[in-house]
Amino acid sequence: MSSQICRSVASRAARSILSAYSKQSSRSISGGRAAAAAATVSLRGVVPSLAAYGREESANASRAWISGLFALPAAAYMLQEQEACAAEMERTFIAIKPDGVQRGLIAEIISRFERKGFKLVGIKILVPSKDFAQKHYHDLKERPFFNGLCDFLSSGPVIGMVWEGEGVIKYGRKLIGATDPQKSEPGTIRGDLAVVVGRNIIHGSDGPETAKDEIALWFKPEELVNYTNNAEKWIYGDN
């Protein structure tokens, strides 16, 4: 939903700047003023600093014309940016468990998510405490393997990651494969790289609610990075 908001607001702002500029550009100063005014109106709430800048300038024609000149590349840039915003639709929590780390599979696992086109927005290495492991697996506390599972998760370094992309929660689970590696398809991470359920090397959130909870358990908001990956315009797009 935030991606749609981002896309429509940025797009409207950018397009109105570009159209005001192109309609009026042959009319020198007044054209520049129109573009600057469009920038002032349209950028409000999108790029606060630019919006404030534009408001100040509205009383001064020649300075407004200059701000119009700045608005044009800003608008072009924002049109590019909306594509990046389109990718901010979903996040999932993925962990490489102690067996995956010890077996030297960190790069292999990261590479499968990366090559697919998903974006890494958070990563850390830590040895979880038993208490933390119990929090992470709280929904399994009635299962007979719960204690052993939590002992295992807290037995060594784990890589915690947040991956972002369209459909990343569900498709991340496909990349991972079935819980029991004996039942995971070849081509999946567990299918290719693990043999038994007790050492299935990777964890992935199983739905939107779990993803939200697990990301919040493992990461502080400021540990997650919002950025534009330049490949996104080649990964996302409609024809």
Report if residue 198 touches ligand IDP, rule: CB under 6 A. Answer: yes
Give the shortest CB-83-to-Mg ion separation in angstroms: 33
Residue 200 binds which of ligand IDP, Mg ion, none (CB < 5-8 A, kind-dependent): ligand IDP
Token pair for residue 229? Answer: 């990956």
With CB under 6 A as the contact rule, which of the stretches 28-36, 50-58, 119-127, 194-202 interacts with ligand IDP? 194-202
Report if residue 213 touches ligand IDP, rule: CB under 6 A. Answer: no
Residue from 197, 212, 224, 233 that binds ligand IDP (CB under 6 A)? 197
Report if residue 203 touches ligand IDP, rule: CB under 6 A. Answer: yes
Is 136 assigned a catalytic role?
A: no
Residue from 24, 42, 188, 200 that binds ligand IDP (CB under 6 A)? 200
C-alpha distances in Å from residue 119, one per residue of 9, 31, 162, 227: 23, 41, 8, 9
What angle do the packed helices 48-57 and 61-86 form, to 10 degrees?
160
Residues 135-174 as b/e (b if ≥16 CB within 10 A, e otherwise) read ebbeeeeeeeebeebbebbbbeebbbbbbbbeebbebbbe
Give the shortest CB-191-to-ligand IDP separation in angstroms: 12
